[in-house]
């Protein structure tokens, strides 16, 4: 048995994959695969509309918010967010707490002025409290990344930014914990972490923010055009949306977002408790209050890591069927991504290995 701890594309629920397999060549009695369906057909419309309806239900999305299903992943939205929102004043605030918010800020700087709310850090291990933020009252929006996949930093609060729209990248913790959609102007999430295969990007945007795009905005990144066409302006990633819809139904069957949150808390606590009780053998650099429930980075042997021990641990993990645990190349070490589809039993197997490895190498 293989346990996939990848940061993305990530593990999908096994029962969802079984459903996909069963219906791959005859989707919902249509006689053809969903990959062959016209995106204008009534068969596909049911899949498309149900996925959006289920998402609205899971997150209790207010009626004055639009749900768009787009392409281009998070990187595409780095540009799309700026192109669609920055035109109000020509400037935007960016809260940079890791690699992905940093990349988003660089992308946005091509389309307007970007104000870095925080000073540049050598390492991203914390989310400074808002008393240290330098917000621009003239900003068109305030942008942040709720969970930094590379560094394992996750916000423990929703920023309060007054009347300025709050824009958030939730790609790697979307549907893993409840939140109030009405506190945001815009939320986006690439599907490939928690809700489906790579290729689909969900955008939840307040309707009063639509229609303010820059003239240079390409049609495929234009929120107004996507909204007017029910996300069918061009051929959408139909297969990805189909699988995403099945994942949303799986989440509903398993306690909804609250159920996912309870599971995330249990899994992450299991791993962090081992790290905290290892007398420094395992080391997580992230401040405890903002440690991610989705991506747990750690080193072995010291804060800088012991290459030999880490290679040995990764080899043992792979021998036991636990794959893709190597940390991101920019930070090294080990990273366990425990998204919604990773079960508690699977996480316990990792915990068992960590405990055994500690006992065998602590001296």
Nearest to 208 by CA among 48, 57, 62: 62
Residue 162's CB: how many other CB atoms inside 10 A? 8
| Sequential pLDDT tens for the chain (363 residues) | 899 999 999 999 999 999 999 999 999 999 999 999 999 999 999 999 999 999 999 999 999 999 999 999 999 999 999 999 999 999 999 999 999 999 999 999 999 999 999 999 999 999 999 999 999 999 999 999 999 999 999 999 999 999 999 999 999 999 999 999 999 999 999 999 999 999 999 999 999 999 999 999 999 999 999 999 999 999 999 999 999 999 999 999 999 999 999 999 999 999 999 999 999 999 999 999 999 999 999 999 888 888 999 999 999 999 999 999 999 888 889 999 999 999 999 999 999 999 999 999 987
162 φ, ψ (degrees, to nearest 5): 65, -135
CATH code, 255-360: 3.90.1150.10
- Give catalytic residue positions: 100, 169, 193
Give the tens place of pLDDT for each residue, 126-142.
Answer: 999 999 999 999 999 99
CATH 3.40.640.10 domain extents, the chain:
15-253
Separation between Cα atoms, residue 286 and residue 121, nearest integer Å = 13
Q: Which residues of 103-115 are buried (b: 16+ CB within 10 A; e: fewer)?
A: bbbebbeebbebe
Confirm if 275 and 282 have CB atoms less than 8 A apart.
Answer: yes
CATH 3.90.1150.10 domain extents, the chain:
255-360
Give the tens place of pLDDT for each residue, 288-338.
Answer: 999 999 999 999 988 888 899 999 999 999 999 999 999 988 888 999 999
Sign of CA dihedral 273, 324, 12, 195: positive
Q: Which CATH architecture has domain 15-253?
A: 3-Layer(aba) Sandwich (3.40)
Residue 167's CB: how many other CB atoms inside 10 A? 28
């Amino acid at each position: 048995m293989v346990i996939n701890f990848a940061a993305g594309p990530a593990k999908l629920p096994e029962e969802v994959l079984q459903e996909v397999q069963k219906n791959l060549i005859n989707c919902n009695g249509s006689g053809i695969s969903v990959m062959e369906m016209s995106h204008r057909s009534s068969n596909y419309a049911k899949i498309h509309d149900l996925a959006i309806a289920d998402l609205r239900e899971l997150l209790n999305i207010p009626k004055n918010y639009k749900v768009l299903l787009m392409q281009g992943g998070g990187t595409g939205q780095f540009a799309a967010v700026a192109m669609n929102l920055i035109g109000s004043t020509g400037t935007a605030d960016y809260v940079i707490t890791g690699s992905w918010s940093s990349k988003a800020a660089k992308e946005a700087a091509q389309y307007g002025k970007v104000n870095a709310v925080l000073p540049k850090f050598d390492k991203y291990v914390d989310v400074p409290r808002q008393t240290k933020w330098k917000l621009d009252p003239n900003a068109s929006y305030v942008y942040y990344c709720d969970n930094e996949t590379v560094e394992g930093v996750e916000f423990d609060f929703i920023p309060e930014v007054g009347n300025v729209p709050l824009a958030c990248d939730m790609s790697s913790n979307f549907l893993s914990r409840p939140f109030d959609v009405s506190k945001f102007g815009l939320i986006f999430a690439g599907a490939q972490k928690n809700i489906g295969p790579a290729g689909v990007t969900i955008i939840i945007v307040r309707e009063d923010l639509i229609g303010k795009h820059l003239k240079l905005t390409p049609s495929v990144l234009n929120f107004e055009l996507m909204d007017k066409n029910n996300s069918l302006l061009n051929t959408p990633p139909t297969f990805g949306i189909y699988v995403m819809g099945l994942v949303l139904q799986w989440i509903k069957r398993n306690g909804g977002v609250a159920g996912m949150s309870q599971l995330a808390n249990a899994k992450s606590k299991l791993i962090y408790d081992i790290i905290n009780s290892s007398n420094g053998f395992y080391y997580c650099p992230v401040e405890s209050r903002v440690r991610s429930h989705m991506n747990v980075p750690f080193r072995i042997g010291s804060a800088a890591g012991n290459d030999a021990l880490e290679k040995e641990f990764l080899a043992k993990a792979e021998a036991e069927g636990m794959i893709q645990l190597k940390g991101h190349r920019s930070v090294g070490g080990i990273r366990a991504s425990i998204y919604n589809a990773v079960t508690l039993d699977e996480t316990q197997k990792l915990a068992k290995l960590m405990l055994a490895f500690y006992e065998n190498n602590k001296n």
